[in-house]
Structure 1
Amino acid sequence: MDKVYSALVIFFGSVLLGFAFNMFLLPHEILSGGITGVAMIFSLMTPVNAGIWLIILNIPILVLGWMKLGKLFIANSIYSVAVTSISMLYIPVMKVTEDALLSSVFGGVLVGIGVGSIIRFYGSTGGFDVVGLLLTMKRDIPLGFMVFSLNSMVVFISGFIFSWELAMYTMASIYITGLVVDRIHTRHIKLSLMVVTGKGEEVKTKLLESLYRGITVTDGEGAYSGNKVKVLYTVISRYELAFVRPLIKSIDPHAFVSINETMEVMGNFRKDDNFKKTPGITGESRSA
């Protein structure tokens, strides 16, 4: 059921992209960012549909994603690109409104919803989404900001080919898309997790198996009961919270859990970091 639900979300997100492109952006020559934007430029300059250009230009980037992000991710991405391309072939290119500014705003919002939903379910729309995801794996940078930065080059291209007024509309659309993506795709948001439990060893073992994070473990004592407890502290991503909560509850339903948003993480965090075996530091290797 999870796979079916994921496929449906990616499908409707991709159709939403095709709708936003053909109904809001393309009629006013307001471009999307990255490879999709380049495909739009080529479609406006040649008789070939933007959906066809989208497939052609995405091939080398999807090959790179296959090597770095895995087969499931690329399978979902190919599925998304195919659905978007087909939807752009069948959805008519027509103006919903004559106001280019309104089109850039609403088109940017719809594209952001579509892209954010697709990425959240481990897919992409190809192009700079893949490049952005590869970069955010190495740095704690919001994906929307990263994609916005990469896509800004399309603004300058469109400015030289068409007009700088349209380029500014494009910049507004891309910026709004980035904001919406960051509202939906929250993997860059880090949370501080503190667990006070009488089953510290079991909780620690399960967390290490599931998170591949370092955990700081200290001894504690209940002030009222006098019971000896373990205090576990680590930092997780917003996505990981979804399975951390039920995991802890299944081991110790009476555990005290405190969760706070963390502004910044310094030191080792990801499983592919070069962990330093420093006692008492959350970013230590997989031991406590």
Structure 2
Amino acid sequence: MQSKQTPSTQTVHPQSGWEPPLTGQARRLFLIVLASVVMAVNIKSFVDAGGLFPGGFNGLTLLIQRSAQQFAGVALPFTAINLLLNAIPAIVSFRLIGKRFTLYSCLMIALTSVLTDIIPSMPLTNDVLLVCIFGGIINGFSISLCLLGRATSGGTDFIAVALSERLNVDAWNYIFIGNCLMLVVAGMLFGWDKALYSIIFQFASTQIVHLLDPRFKRTTLFIISNRAPEIYEQIKDTTHHGATLFHGIGLYNGEERDLIYSVITSDQVKEITRAAREIDPHAFINILKTDQVAGNFYRRPHD
């Protein structure tokens, strides 16, 4: 197909922000509770079994706990330390990211802390390498559940989300570097073997979050159809993204064709393609992975 006209400027529509209140909030609450349970169980099984230090303030809390126990003989509760460490990042998040996002995140932090104190230690294996890999995968999965619920597990995750919101960058690998610096201290105090194994744990966790977090995965759609306006309305109403319309000629049979060009997030692709095929069963849809977008691109806010 060749373009006959210069494409119009793509518009970005303001968010409607509407979702059924009960359904949306219940789903969000369920994901956060599930994430806190998974994270707490992971700490009391894989993390404790390997003597590891997970990323973020959970790892820093464990470092303080174990240091107090080993060097001062004092048993400090996980909950008190973790809540204290997260106080300042929570205030920053409240101001920069949003009220509801911060409140749900605080719920995640509190539930994880309390469950970590309540759940008894239950090591599943003594193989440290298995602990690192599978513990890291489960930890990344729990963080991803939390992000799907538009919340965070606290600490450095507050920082990562704030950077994502303000600078539009994927900050998880930078957080990984920061966690490695914390492990240097842990290695000096408790032995380099635990610190090095913890790096494997944190790397596995970071990659799972990077894989599952949908906010930075974008897809380009090229849709050829004779019912372009109806398909565009579906894109606009469902994703709040705009589109550009090309008018052209199909060179196979010489008939006029319309081409819709739009960039959306990857988790919206199935819904849009299904809706487009329902509107026009003969629509031709080309789906391309998009590595980077420069310009005005709508992103659903965390709050």
Task: Tell me the TM-score normalised to structure 2 length.
Answer: 0.78
Aligned twin of 2:188: 160
Residue 297 of structure 2, aligned match among 267, 270, 280:
270
Q: Which amino acid aligns with 1:111?
A: N
Structure-2 separation of matches of 1:84 and 1:152 = 23
Residue 135 of structure 1, aligned match among 136, 152, 163:
163
SS of equivalent to 1:218: strand
Structure-1 separation of matches of 2:28 and 2:187 = 37
Which 5+ residue runs of structure 2 have no aligned equivalent?
1-22, 69-74
Structure-2 separation of matches of 1:236 and 1:164 = 44
Deviation at 1:129, TM superposition (A): 1.4
Aligned twin of 2:44: 22
Aligned twin of 1:282: none
User: In 2 relative to 1, CA 140–194 (structure 1 residues): closer, same or farther, beyond 3 Å?
Assistant: farther
Matches within 5 A, 1:89-238: 89-137=117-165, 138-141=167-170, 144-205=172-233, 207-208=235-236, 211=239, 213=241, 215-222=243-250, 228-238=256-266
Q: Deviations over 1:172-193 (max 9, x none)?
A: 1000111222232232222111
User: In 2 relative to 1, CA 10–194 (structure 1 residues): closer, same or farther, beyond 3 Å?
Assistant: same
User: Contact between 1:199 and 1:252, CA under 8 Å: does it hold in 2?
Assistant: yes
Residue 31 of structure 1, aligned match among 17, 29, 53:
53
Residue 34 of structure 2, aligned match among 6, 9, 12:
12
User: In 2 relative to 1, CA 250–75 (structure 1 residues): closer, same or farther, beyond 3 Å?
Assistant: farther
Q: Deviations over 1:245-271 (max 9, x none)?
A: 455456555533221212x32531424
Relative contact order higher in (CA < 8 Å, ≥ 6 apart): 2
Q: Deviations over 1:83-129 (max 9, x none)?
A: 21111011113433333333222221211111111112212101111
SS of equivalent to 1:17: helix
Q: How many residues align?
A: 270
Aligned twin of 2:272: 244
SS of equivalent to 2:289: strand
CA RMSD of aligned residues (A): 2.6
User: Contact between 2:184 and 2:195, CA under 8 Å: does it hold in 1?
Assistant: yes
User: Contact between 2:245 and 2:258, CA under 8 Å: does it hold in 1?
Assistant: yes
Structure-2 separation of matches of 1:254 and 1:157 = 61
Q: Deviations over 1:25-79 (max 9, x none)?
A: 1344310112111111111123222232111111211222222322332232122
Deviation at 1:208, TM superposition (A): 4.5
Aligned twin of 1:58: 86
Structure-1 separation of matches of 2:253 and 2:93 = 54
Q: Which amino acid aligns with 1:240?
A: Q
User: In 2 relative to 1, CA 68–226 (structure 1 residues): closer, same or farther, beyond 3 Å?
Assistant: farther
Residue 98 of structure 2, aligned match among 70, 82, 101:
70
User: In 2 relative to 1, CA 250–150 (structure 1 residues): closer, same or farther, beyond 3 Å?
Assistant: farther
Q: Which amino acid aligns with 2:210?
A: D
User: Contact between 2:248 and 2:257, CA under 8 Å: does it hold in 1?
Assistant: yes
Q: How much identity, in percent, do the aligned residues show?
A: 22
Aligned twin of 1:284: none
SS of equivalent to 1:182: helix
Q: Which amino acid aligns with 2:109?
A: V
Structure-2 separation of matches of 1:81 and 1:206 = 38
User: Contact between 2:235 and 2:242, CA under 8 Å: does it hold in 1?
Assistant: no
User: Contact between 1:144 and 1:177, CA under 8 Å: does it hold in 2?
Assistant: no
User: Contact between 1:104 and 1:170, CA under 8 Å: does it hold in 2?
Assistant: yes
Structure-2 separation of matches of 1:253 and 1:131 = 45
Q: Which amino acid aligns with 1:164?
A: W
